[in-house]
Amino acid sequence: MTNNRSKGFANPWLVLGFEVICVLVYELLQKRGASATAHLSQAWSWIGITALASPLTWLAMGLMIVSLLSWLYVLRYIPLSIAFPLSRVVDIVVPLSCWMILGEDISTRRWCGIALVIVGLILMAKPAAQLEEKL
């Protein structure tokens, strides 16, 4: 952590949001790339080797590097116990995106889980806001 307040695009909270978007996109690309190449080898596909045959997987890896660099920046300013849970907003965005883009189903229980994650994020908002005042 540091006491230097970062403004504009260097604001660690903004970078955290950017990182979440990168994770969302690369997860979707990973799924598309891995599914499209699973038929190449049943055994090797379980450890991700066949997925490397898809350009979508490589695009996902590029985005993964961008998200990693963003995450490293976030970690320099925000405690892991706050930054990481907040970054998990992606856990509800991914199923929602799968529902909207990939056509996967979301059951009632899954909707309840999504609601609980939102409650958890709201609970964490106050400690995050207090940290923002210190940054």
Binding site for another protein (CB under 8 A): 1-2, 27-28, 30-31, 33-35, 37-38, 45-51, 57, 61, 64, 68, 71-72, 75-76, 79-82, 84-85, 88, 91-92, 94-95, 98-99, 102, 104, 106-107, 109-110, 112-124, 126-127
How much of the chain is helix, strand and coil, in % rounded to 5?
A: 80, 0, 20
Q: How far is the CB of 13 from another protein (least distance, A)?
A: 16
Q: How far is the CB of 21 from another protein (least distance, A)?
A: 15
Q: What would the DSSP string read from start to end of 21-46?
A: HHHHHHHHHHHHHHHHHGGG-HHHHT
**Unique residue bearing structure tokens 């925000």:** 78
